[in-house]
A and B are shown apart, each in its own frame.
Chain A
Amino acid sequence: MATNRPAAVTADVSAGASAGRARARWRNAAQFAGFTPAAVLFGLFFLVPLALIVVYSFWRTKDYSLVHDWNLGNYRTFLDTKTYIKTFLKTVVMGVLATTTTIALAMPFCYWLVRYVPKRLQRTLLLLVVLPFWTSYLLRVYSWVAILGDNGALNTILNKLGVTSGGHRYLLYDNPGVYLVLVYLYFPFAVLTLYASLERFDWNLLRAARDLGATPGRALLRVVAPQMRLSIATASIFVFIPILGEYLAPQVVGGTKGVMIGNLIANFFAGFLLPLGSAASVLVALVIVILLVIFRRSLDTGDVYAS
């Protein structure tokens, strides 16, 4: 609320004292003028296309051309095919696992950053966390092949140490590899979100808890954790949803077993099965919408990215 007031006051500045009613109304509309280009961009090139997928999911193709007859065949095919359904569920399970792990790793990390690192270093260290974003996403994924693969860094080191000998591969070309890489990819997202809220946390509350006889552990559990619930939800959403659409990581490190729903969709579209791909996309979008509705309270996090 407090933020609304100055905004309203400026609105008045621009309205000046020159207020005829019609003029004021016009000015009122004018204040939204800045939204117009963005509205066109998002409307035409984000919302309309998403709506299109929904439409397409009810059509079908015959010999690489679209047939516009409305039917549920794509959904039926999708739901009837064991591989698809299994892949879909697997993707959700993978998402949940990777998200929980990411958050579990990010929590103590952020706690350390906020509480044990001097303020002036925090920014730099945070910047270092996002630094990997500035390297090619693809190569970062591929790098894991060079680390975990048969001639990988890990194998080489273990061989040198005499722990193993010969070529070994670790986690690669299977679900665990995908899981590891997903955690690696999304850890910075979780850190950014959690850091933003931990940084704002009133640590006096922790001291108050200590003062009232709570041991450090209980103080964290009883006072910090409950209040982090919202931002944990936010972080989870911001990690989980993109994971649902991942297809490059599984493609590079997943082998035939690590396939996720994103690969299916990418494949359908590559094979011009637009309606089937659309149907799969709609199912993913459905999950996302449900999540967004459930967690709508934890979504206003513009400042996360701003930081």
Chain B
Amino acid sequence: GSDSKSSSGGGSVTLNWLTWSDHFANDQLKAVGTKTGITGRPKLFSDNADAILQIKQLGDAFDMVSGDALWDVKYMSDGLIDPMDLSTIDASKELYSVAKSFDFWTNPKGYLGYPFSWSTVQIYYNPDMVKTPPTSWQSLTDPAYKGMVVAENIPTDLLAIAGRATSVKDPYGMSGDELSAAADFLAALKPNLLKLASQNNEVIQLLANKSVAIGVTNLGSEDRVKDAGGPVIKAVYPSEGTIGFIDSEMIVSKGKNKERVPEFLDAMERSDYIAQNFITNGRPLFNESAAKKLLADSKTADRAKRLFMDQPEKALEMTLKGPAGDQQAYTEAFNKVFGA
């Protein structure tokens, strides 16, 4: 069926795609390119706030952008994306139905994004390196952990975590006072942070080579650290609760080749690729067929189960990542603590 599609699509094009590194693999891009004539050209970013700025400024330079849960809503309200009709994309039949009906992505004009993966952000630690294991966000400020912690450099989310730590109601919509209390928490945490990692991979690497003892990172990190030849690390679900993401691919409304995006997604989001993606990046995805494949294989079944590959509804229990109410205030508060 795909053959007829590529001919109907009309020739080979390049799709500019602003995304994270764990949304694709090079051989996948190559295979999809050969098959459909659509070459995905990814440009990487680290922070939703970055990405939305780039889409705002560069508009027609991209056809597709990746984004997290409530950020998609902001994209929509800023008029940056076109909702899609999932039913026209064959591959969406492989998705869990819950993923196709998140209410925050539901819009009269269509679905805001093509669901991809999700994860909570939690604490991992290396039991060989810390005497008293952390139990909560607050406990991370313990001077005993000086220079032993790493987190990703995502200002909004770090502040949201700080909001969790200081028990505010809405971590993404903190008031001025709440924000400065959260900033104080980060300031207290700062001496313990060895560095802010540019990307999740780096967190894994630092844990693996024992540069740090504690990482604030996604589900499945224990496997990835082990895969990278690192030590056994343990997960802690912080007592204050945590945040998490549900991410997706969106169609940029000014994209020059945006009409080819569904065709591209159709090829990219097939269960074989998604299963492989799970193995490489180790956090749950919304592709039910992939989940089935993984569960059927004894080598991966245990891991897929442990990482909730079969429980997509769990994703809705987290505080979802999203834009801050006053994004600038968040950025400023973060800068004031870290400078960078």
Question: Is A239 engaged at the interface, CB distance under 8 Å to the other chain?
Answer: no
Q: How large is the interface on A (under 10, 10 to 19, 20 to 34, 35 or more residues)?
A: 20 to 34
Inter-chain contact A256/B328, CB cutoff 8 Å: no
Q: What residues of A have a CB within 8 angstroms of the CB of B193 in the complex?
A: 256
Question: Is A169 engaged at the interface, CB distance under 8 Å to the other chain?
Answer: yes
Question: Is A150 engaged at the interface, CB distance under 8 Å to the other chain?
Answer: yes
Known contacts A81-B336, A255-B194, A256-B195; is A149 also within 8 Å of B211 by CB?
Answer: yes
Q: How large is the interface on B (under 10, 10 to 19, 20 to 34, 35 or more residues)?
A: 20 to 34
Chain B binder among A3-11, A185-193, A219-227, A270-278: A270-278
Inter-chain contact B211/A83, CB cutoff 8 Å: no
Candidates A64, A173, A263; contact of B194 at CB < 8 Å: A173
Considering the chains assembled together, what is the distance between the CA atoms of A247 and B339 in angstroms? Answer: 12
Q: From B332, B338, B340, name the one whose CB has the most chain A CB atoms within 10 angstroms.
A: B340
Inter-chain contact A64/B56, CB cutoff 8 Å: yes
8 intermolecular pairs with C-beta atoms under 8 Å apart: A83-B338, A83-B339, A167-B210, A256-B193, A259-B340, A271-B331, A272-B328, A273-B335
Give min CB distance, A251 to chain B, whole Å. Answer: 7
Question: Is B107 engaged at the interface, CB distance under 8 Å to the other chain?
Answer: no
Candidates A256, A264, A273; contact of B190 at CB < 8 Å: A256
Considering the chains assembled together, what is the distance between the CA atoms of A151 and B211 in angstroms? Answer: 9
Inter-chain contact A259/B338, CB cutoff 8 Å: yes
Chain B contacts with A in 81-118, Cβ cutoff 8 A: none
Question: Is A57 engaged at the interface, CB distance under 8 Å to the other chain?
Answer: no
Inter-chain contact A270/B50, CB cutoff 8 Å: yes
Inter-chain contact A264/B335, CB cutoff 8 Å: yes
Question: Is B29 engaged at the interface, CB distance under 8 Å to the other chain?
Answer: no
Question: Is B155 engaged at the interface, CB distance under 8 Å to the other chain?
Answer: yes
> Told that A63-B327, A81-B336, A83-B335 touch, could you supply 11 new A-B pairs with CB distance under 8 A?
A63-B326, A83-B336, A83-B338, A84-B335, A84-B336, A255-B194, A256-B193, A266-B340, A267-B340, A271-B328, A272-B53
Question: Is B2 engaged at the interface, CB distance under 8 Å to the other chain?
Answer: no
Chain B contacts with A in 308-340, Cβ cutoff 8 A: 326-328, 331-332, 335-340
Question: Is A170 engaged at the interface, CB distance under 8 Å to the other chain?
Answer: no
Q: What residues of B have a CB within 8 angstroms of the CB of A268 in the complex?
A: 335
Known contacts A167-B209, A256-B195, A256-B196; is A263 also within 8 Å of B53 by CB?
Answer: no
Q: What residues of A have a CB within 8 angstroms of the CB of B53 in the complex?
A: 64, 270-272
Helix, strand, loop or mixed for chain B's interface?
helix
B183-216 vs A, Cβ < 8 Å mask (1 yes, 0 no) = 0000000100111100000000000011100000
Question: Is A87 engaged at the interface, CB distance under 8 Å to the other chain?
Answer: yes
Considering the chains assembled together, what is the distance between the CA atoms of A272 and B328 in angstroms? Answer: 8
Q: What residues of A have a CB within 8 angstroms of the CB of B211 in the complex?
A: 149-150, 167, 169
Q: What residues of B have a CB within 8 angstroms of the CB of A119 in the complex?
A: none
Q: What residues of A have a CB within 8 angstroms of the CB of B326 in the complex?
A: 63
Give min CB distance, A8 to chain B, whole Å. Answer: 51
Inter-chain contact A259/B328, CB cutoff 8 Å: no
Question: Is B49 engaged at the interface, CB distance under 8 Å to the other chain?
Answer: yes
Q: What residues of A have a CB within 8 angstroms of the CB of B328 in the complex?
A: 61-64, 271-273
Known contacts A61-B328, A62-B328; is A271 also within 8 Å of B335 by CB?
Answer: yes
Considering the chains assembled together, what is the distance between the CA atoms of A169 and B212 in angstroms? Answer: 11
Inter-chain contact B339/A84, CB cutoff 8 Å: yes
Q: From B49, B327, B328, B332, name the one whose CB has the most chain A CB atoms within 10 angstroms.
A: B328
Q: What residues of B have a CB within 8 angstroms of the CB of A266 in the complex?
A: 340
Chain A contacts with B in 216-253, Cβ cutoff 8 A: 247, 250-251
Q: What residues of A have a CB within 8 angstroms of the CB of B50 in the complex?
A: 270
A-B pairs, 4 with minimum CB distance: A263-B340, A255-B195, A271-B331, A259-B339
Inter-chain contact B339/A87, CB cutoff 8 Å: yes
A137-150 vs B, Cβ < 8 Å mask (1 yes, 0 no) = 00000000000011
Chain A contacts with B in 56-104, Cβ cutoff 8 A: 61-64, 77, 81, 83-84, 87
Give min CB distance, B84 to chain A, whole Å. Answer: 25
- Closest-by-CB residue of B relative to A266 is B340
Inter-chain contact A271/B155, CB cutoff 8 Å: yes
